[in-house]
Amino acid sequence: MNGSFRLSDIKPGQKARIISLESPLSERLSELGFIDGAVVECALRSPLGDPTAFLAGGALIALRREDICDISVEVVQ
Amino acid sequence: MRYIRGGGAVKPAFEKRNENDLIIALAGNPNVGKCTVFNGLTGLRQHTGNWPGKTVSSAQGYFRGEKRGYILVDIPGTYSLTPHSAEEEVARDFLCSDIPDAVVCVCDATNLRRNLPLVLQIKKITGRIVLCINLLDEAKKKGIDINLRALSRELGVPVVGCVARSGKGLRLISGAIESVMQKKENKAPPQETDPSSLFAEADRIISRCVSGSSSAYTVKEKTLDRILTGKLFGFPIMLLGLMLIFWLTIEGANIPSDFLASAFASFEAPIYKFLASLRLPQAVCEAAVFGIWRVLSKVIAVMLPPMAVFFPLFTLLEDLGYLPRIAFNLDRAFKCCGACGKQGLTMCMGFGCNAVGATGCRIIDSPRERLIAMLTNSFVPCNGQFPAIISLSAIFFVGAGVGFLSSVASAAALTLAVLFGILSTFAASKLLSMTLLRGIPSSFTLELPPYRAPQVGRVIIRSILDRTLFVLGRAVSVAAPAGLIIWLLSNITVGELSLLSHFSEFLDPFARLMGLDGTILAAFILGFPANEIVLPLVIMAYTSNGALGALSGASDLFSILSANGWTSATAICFIIFSLMHWPCSTTLMTIKKETQSIKWTAAAFLLPTVFGILTCAAVNFILRLIMH
C-alpha cells in the first residue's frame, strides 16, 4: 500500500486503483465505472487546472477536484 | 445498494397512424449515436416535443417495417435507470411505464463494457428489448471484434449490428422488434441494482463475445486531447477556432446575402403592381411592399446565409466530439461564477442564434445553472447582429477595404466584440449566482467521447433545412408584423413629424446619457422582433426615408452617420448596447417556454438591459472625459 492517496492527488499519466468511494457523487461515479477495485488512469487536466479527466471503464470522464478528493486510491505502476 | 422507484405519471401524446402500430422506446447511454440511429430510421418523419410538465425534449418519429409501422420515441441518454436529473427521471419513468411496446437499446461497439449495465437493468424490467450495437466501423478501426451471435445468446435478446452513420444494419431492426413481440410481456417493477455486480456481469459477457484490443482511447486520441486541452495550446486553439468560424460565416454569407437582398428587391415592383391592380388603396400597397416585404426580406437576407454556414459548422464540431473539450477547458471559469462548463457550449450556440442557445440550455442538468445560462445567453451577439458590428467597426476603426486582409480584420473585430460579450457573460453569471440564483455549484461529470469522423453530407443538409425553416418561420411570424408597424410609425404624421420622429425625440435626452441618440434607441426598441433591422432602421430614420432602404456602401454609411452626429464614441456605445440589451422577441418567447415562468422571463429581459444601460453610460462618461 502506498499510504492514503486521494484520487485528486493523481497526476496525468498515473494509474490508480480505487479503494473506497466516499464522494457525494458515489452513485453516479459507480455507474460510470468508478467502482471499488477498478483501475483508472488520469489522462488529462484542464488548462485552468480543473477538472481532470480519467479513463474509467474505457470512457473518458471529467471530474472536479472537490468531487474526487474523498476517494481513496492506491497508485498502480 | 440503491432502490429504483418507478412508474411515475408520464403520458405524452403518441399518435398512432394505424391501429397496430407499435410504440418503441429508443434508449442508450449518451454519446452512442442514438440520435444517428433515430434519424436513420425515421428520416424526415419526426418532430421534437416536450414531455408535459418538464422541459425535457424528446423526438418522436415514425418508420415502417414489413408488417407495420412503429412510433420511435427517443428518450434522453442515461447511464443507468437510477435518475440523477430530470432527463434521466423521464427516461426511467417512460421505460417502466406500460406505454412502450418494446425497447431498442443502442450501444457503442467501442465500449460495450460501459453500455451493458443499462441493458442488463432494462432487461430486468421487460423482456422485449432489442440491442442495437452501433459504431461497428469505429470498433473495427480499433481492432475490436464483437461476435454478435454469441452476444445475442448470452443476453437472450436479438442483437443487430449497425453503422448508423451510413445506414448499414438499420433495416434489420424492425425484424428484431417483431421477434421480441412474440415474447410474453412481463413488465417487472424496477429492482435494486448494484453497479459492481452489473459491471462484473458485463465483464463476464464481454469475455465471451468480444475479442481484440479493449482500449477505446488510442494513443493518437490522447495526443490530440493533450494538445487541445493543454496549457499551451488549449485556449489559443479555441480562440483561433472561434475566429475561423466567424470568418467562414462572414465570407460564406456575403455573396448569398447580397444575392437574396437583390432578389427580394426585384420582387418589389411586381408585387406593388399586382396589389395596385387589385384596386387596393395606395397606402395599403405601400405598407405591404415598403413595410412588410422590405423588413421580411431584410430579415431573411441578413439572417439566413450566416446561419446556413454557422450551424452546420457548429454541428460538425459537435459530431466530431470537440465541444465537450471546450466545456472541459472552460469549466473552472464558469464554476467560479457559480455556473458550469456546459454553459460554454450554450454560449457558443448563442453566437448563431440566442433562441437556439436558450433551448440548448437543456444540456445543463442543474436547474439553477440552467437558468443562469439562459438569462446570460443574450450577452453574446447572434448572427443577426454580426453585420452591424462588422460594418461599424470597419468604418470607424479598422478601415473599410476589400480583400483577404480586410475580411480577416472583420473577423478579428467581431471576435473582439464577442470576447467582450463573453466577459460580460461571466460577470452577469457571477452576479446572478450571488443574488437571484444563489446556490452551490452542482456536481459535474462530463464524458469526453471519442473523436468520430462527422457525417458531413447528412449533417449539412439536415442543418441547413432546419435553419432555413426556422428563419422563414420567424420571418413570417415576427418580421412581417414588425414591418407593418414600422411602416405605420414612419409614415403617420402628427403635426410636422412622423410618429417615429416623435418617439425618437422623446427618447433623446435619456439616450444621450448612454452615448447614443433618440433615433438609435428607438431603432433598438423597434428592433425587438429582430436584431437584424436595428442599423437599417437607424439609416432609414436618418435619411427620412419612410422605409428601409438598401445600404449602398461603406462610405455612404459613414457619411450618413457622421452627418447625424456619430463619432467613434457613438459607434462604441452602439456596439456595447448591441451586445447588452434585451433579448429579441423569439428568444424571449423561447425562454418563457423553457422556464414556464413570467418572473424569469422578465429577469431575462431586464438583466442585459440594465447592464447595457449602465455600461454605455459609464463608457460614454469616460470617453467624454478622455476626449476633452
ipTM: 0.94
Biggest alpha carbon–alpha carbon distance for chain B: 89
Closest CA to B317 of B397, B241, B217, B401: B241
- Which candidate from A24, A45, A48 shows the least CB-CB separation from B333? A48
A28 and B84: CB-CB below 8 Å?
Answer: yes
Greatest mean pLDDT among B187-201, B279-293, B512-526: B512-526
Residue of B nearest to A53 (CA): B448
A47 and B329: CB-CB below 8 Å?
Answer: yes
B199 and A62: CB-CB below 8 Å?
Answer: no
- Give me the numbers of helices (H) and strands (E) for chain A, helices first please: 2, 6
Greatest mean pLDDT among A50-54, B141-145, B316-320: A50-54
CB-based contact B503:B522 (threshold 8 Å): yes
Q: Which of residues 339-368 of B touch A (CB under 8 A)?
A: 341
Query: What was the pLDDT predicted at B7?
Result: 37
Query: What was the pLDDT predicted at B2?
Result: 25
A58 and B110: CB-CB below 8 Å?
Answer: yes
CB-based contact A7:A69 (threshold 8 Å): yes
- Which candidate from A29, A57, A63 shows the least CB-CB separation from B114? A57
Percent of chain A predicted with pLDDT > 70: 96
Cell numbers for B224: 490530440
B195 and A60: CB-CB below 8 Å?
Answer: no
Query: What was the pLDDT predicted at B8?
Result: 39
Which residues in chain A have their CB less than 8 angstroms from residue B3's CB?
none
B79 and A63: CB-CB below 8 Å?
Answer: no
A1–chain B nearest CA distance, Å: 23
pLDDT tens for B308-360 read 899 889 888 888 889 899 999 999 999 999 898 899 989 999 998 999 899 88
Is residue B256 helix, strand or coil?
Answer: helix
pLDDT tens for B557-598 read 888 898 899 998 999 999 999 999 999 999 999 999 888 899
- Which candidate from A37, A46, A67 shows the least CB-CB separation from B443? A67
**Rounded Cα gap, residues B65 and B59, in angstroms:** 19
- Which candidate from B214, B333, B448 shows the least CB-CB separation from A60? B448
Query: What was the pLDDT predicted at B3?
Result: 25
CB-based contact B288:B275 (threshold 8 Å): yes
Return the residue in B345, B444, B451, B452 with the most chain A beta carbons within 10 A, the one to mutate for interface testing. Answer: B444
B331 and A64: CB-CB below 8 Å?
Answer: yes
Residues forming a β-bridge with B106: B28, B132
Pairing mode, if any, of strands B144-146 and B129-134? Answer: unpaired
B613 touches chain A (CB under 8 A): no
B120–chain A nearest CA distance, Å: 13
- Which candidate from A25, A36, A53 shows the least CB-CB separation from B328? A53
Percent of chain B predicted with pLDDT > 70: 93
Query: What was the pLDDT predicted at A42?
Result: 93
A59 and B79: CB-CB below 8 Å?
Answer: no
Return the residue in B4, B326, B332, B426 with the most chain A beta carbons within 10 A, the one to mutate for interface testing. Answer: B332
Q: Which of residues 547-606 of B touch A (CB under 8 A)?
A: none
A48–chain B nearest CA distance, Å: 6
What dihedral do alpha carbons A29, A30, A32, A34 form, nearest 10°? 80
**Any residues with CB less than 8 A from the CB of B532 and at least 6 apart, and which?**
B298, B299, B302, B303, B384, B385, B387
Residue of A nearest to B230 (CA): A47
Q: Which of residues 104-123 of B touch A (CB under 8 A)?
A: 110-111, 113-114, 117
Q: What is the mean pLDDT of residues B136-148?
A: 88
Q: What is the mean pLDDT of residues B439-449?
A: 82
Higher confidence at residue B14 or residue A46? A46
* pLDDT at residue A43 tops 90: yes
Query: What was the pLDDT predicted at B548?
Result: 73
A57–chain B nearest CA distance, Å: 6
Which residues in chain A have their CB less than 8 angstroms from residue B82's CB?
27, 31
